[in-house]
Structure 1
Amino acid sequence: MSKAEEFQELRPLLFSIAYRMLGSVGEAEDAVQESWLRYDASPTEPASTKAFLAAVVTRLCLDVLKSARVRREQYVGTWFPEPLVKDPYQDPERAAELNDSISVAALLLLERLSPLERAVFVLREVFAFDFPEIASAVGRSAAACRQLAVRARGHMDEGRPRFETDGQARDKLAARFLAAFRDGDVGNLQALLAEDVRIASDSGGRAPQWGKTIVGARNVARLLAAISTGFGAIGGQVEARQINGQPGAIFKDRNGAVVNTWAIEILGGRVRAIDTVLNPEKLGHLGPVADAWAVVREAKLAR
């Protein structure tokens, strides 16, 4: 097998490692491409191509995280990861577990870890690399990596997100919820929301948003009904899609340009949270991006 063929076979794994570490589709793709350039330029044949490339992409991500911390601190408003429609790494036996590890809630927990803890957790707990491989990737001893793994696991377990375990029930409720949203029915919407439901938006200061996080079934239902009325009146489209391994939707204007995404968290037969990304810089990988300011103005006039 040629170098290029080996790399293409491992690309889904490399992207999945990088995305979990960085929370950015674009930065993850850049790290994967750079790992290919380094692999292609390497004069020696590694004992394990998988371990070599995983180590390279991990080191690249650690470098990116150094500057990402500063950018996160300066970010305007709520920060969410870039929405991911499909994780290219496939393992049918661990599909649910892998989906949970790219959920918005899980990625926000990973943000609390140090870069090294984050790298060790992703390699060990998500992708089951052994400690000598992890040690090579992060430049620490295997013993130190074990300690990092214990600390990271403890932090993650403290706030580990809980999701609906019955996939069919979850998807059915999400479909009912999106149908109620399209209808703009406050009563039906409120009946599907948990009492302490919250909705938050990430605009990065580059798109309109409704300010702080809104909490409570009544408040959220009224907001959603108002959004639905105006958005539907101007020909807006709501496409049900899986976002970050959970039920969600992509909102598009009448011309098919992306306005925003929803990631919907469901537990106990109710919607617990809606995380929406409006920042146009985080939506370009999904297709042409709409002018959200213009969409909101037109929707308000139509409402």
Structure 2
Amino acid sequence: MSKVEEFEALRPLLFSISYRILGSVGEAEDAVQETWLRYDLSATRPTSPKAFLSTTVTRISIDVLRSARMRRESYVGTWLPEPLLSDPYEDPERSAELADSVSTAALLLLERLSPPERAVFVLREVFAFGFADIAAAVGRSESACRQLLVRARRHMDAGRPRFEAAAEQRQELAARFFEALTKGDIDVLRELLAADATLVGDGGGRTPALARAVGGADAMARLLGSVYPRIALTGVTFEPHEINRLPGAVFRDRDGRVLHTLALEMADGHIRSVLSVSNPDKLGHLGPVADAWALHEEVRRMGRRPR
């Protein structure tokens, strides 16, 4: 098998490792590309291409994460991971771990970990790498990696939601939510939202924020029920889609350009969080990005028209 064939066979795994470490589609794709360049330029063929490439992409991702964390400290508003519609890597024996680890909640919890802790947790808990390979990837001893894993597990377990909705219930709640959103049915939205639900928007200071942070079922229902019917009049549509393994949707303007994504976190039969990503830097991998400011101005002008 040629180097190219070896690499392409492992590309889905490499991207999945890097995305979980970085929480960014674009940065993960860049890390995978840099991994290929190093592999292509290496003078010797490794005994295990999987071990070599996984180590390389992990090291690159750790370096990128260290600089990214500095940028995120000065990020405008709330930082959310880049929306991922589908994970290219599949492993039936690890399906539960793969699904859980790419959820927005898990990625936000991973943000609390140091770069080495995050890498060790991802490689061990998600992809079941042996400690010898993990130690090589993060440049620590096996004993140190075990200690990093213990600390990472403690942080992750402390922050996980205690109850989550079953898949069938999630789909039903999501269908009712988006129907009510389309109709502007504030009463139904209020019924679907948990009393302490939160609406979180990540525009990165680059778009008119739907809401930096709004809490409570009543306030959220009123905001959502008034905003979305108005932007629908401009030709905005949405397509239901899983966003980081959560029920959600991709919203597009009249020309099919991506406006933002919405994802729904649920528990106890209600929607606990509505997560909106509209930062154009985080949407380019989904297609051409809409001009959110122009749409915002169009909606504003519509509100001024005499009835």
Assess if the C-alpha contact under 8 Å between 1:198 and 1:272 holds in 2: yes
**Aligned twin of 2:260:** 260
Shift of 1:70: 1.1
**Aligned twin of 1:151:** 151
**Aligned twin of 1:220:** 220
**Aligned twin of 2:63:** 63
Shift of 1:238: 1.3
Shift of 1:162: 4.8
- Aligned counterparts of 1:71 and 1:237: Cα–Cα separation in 2: 33
Q: Does 1:238 align with 2:225?
A: no
Q: Secondary structure at the match of 1:271?
A: strand
Mark the runs of 5 or more structure 2 residues left unpaired by the alignment. Answer: none
**Aligned twin of 1:194:** 194
**Aligned twin of 1:108:** 108
Question: Deviations along 1:39-95, whole A, 9 cap, x unmatched?
Answer: 122222222111111100000011111211110111111111111111111123443
**Aligned twin of 2:125:** 125
Cα RMSD (Å): 1.3
Opposite residue 278 of structure 1, the aligned amino acid is S
Q: Does 1:40 align with 2:45?
A: no
Q: Secondary structure at the match of 2:6?
A: helix
Q: Does 1:182 align with 2:195?
A: no
**Aligned twin of 1:85:** 85
- Aligned counterparts of 1:228 and 1:195: Cα–Cα separation in 2: 21
- Aligned counterparts of 1:2 and 1:175: Cα–Cα separation in 2: 47
Deviates more, 1:204-213 or 1:272-281: 204-213
- Aligned counterparts of 2:23 and 2:244: Cα–Cα separation in 1: 10
The 1:197–1:76 alpha-carbon spacing in structure 2 relative to 1, beyond 3 Å, is: same
Assess if the C-alpha contact under 8 Å between 2:265 and 2:272 holds in 1: yes
Tell me how many residue pairs correspond in the alignment: 303
Q: Secondary structure at the match of 1:152?
A: helix
Q: Secondary structure at the match of 2:285?
A: helix
The 1:165–1:212 alpha-carbon spacing in structure 2 relative to 1, beyond 3 Å, is: closer
Shift of 1:254: 0.8
- Aligned counterparts of 1:59 and 1:163: Cα–Cα separation in 2: 34
Deviates more, 1:108-117 or 1:161-170: 161-170
Shift of 1:164: 3.2
- Aligned counterparts of 2:60 and 2:292: Cα–Cα separation in 1: 33
Q: Does 1:17 align with 2:17?
A: yes
- Aligned counterparts of 1:165 and 1:221: Cα–Cα separation in 2: 21
- Aligned counterparts of 2:301 and 2:271: Cα–Cα separation in 1: 29
Assess if the C-alpha contact under 8 Å between 1:23 and 1:81 holds in 2: yes
Q: Secondary structure at the match of 1:199?
A: strand
- Aligned counterparts of 2:148 and 2:88: Cα–Cα separation in 1: 27
- Aligned counterparts of 1:122 and 1:30: Cα–Cα separation in 2: 19
- Aligned counterparts of 2:273 and 2:262: Cα–Cα separation in 1: 10
- Aligned counterparts of 2:158 and 2:192: Cα–Cα separation in 1: 27
Shift of 1:17: 0.5
Assess if the C-alpha contact under 8 Å between 1:106 and 1:161 holds in 2: no
Question: Deviations along 1:7-42, whole A, 9 cap, x unmatched?
Answer: 111111100010011111111000001111111222
Shift of 1:211: 4.6
- TM-score normalized by structure 1? 0.96
Identity across the alignment (%): 61
Q: Secondary structure at the match of 1:108?
A: helix
Question: Deviations along 1:168-214, whole A, 9 cap, x unmatched?
Answer: 22112111111111111001111111111100111111101145310
Opposite residue 289 of structure 1, the aligned amino acid is V
Assess if the C-alpha contact under 8 Å between 1:264 and 1:274 holds in 2: yes
Question: Deviations along 1:222-247, whole A, 9 cap, x unmatched?
Answer: 11111112111111101111101111
Assess if the C-alpha contact under 8 Å between 1:243 and 1:263 holds in 2: yes
Q: Secondary structure at the match of 1:121?
A: helix
Assess if the C-alpha contact under 8 Å between 2:199 and 2:211 holds in 1: no
- Aligned counterparts of 1:285 and 1:162: Cα–Cα separation in 2: 32
Mark the runs of 5 or more structure 1 residues left unpaired by the alignment. Answer: none
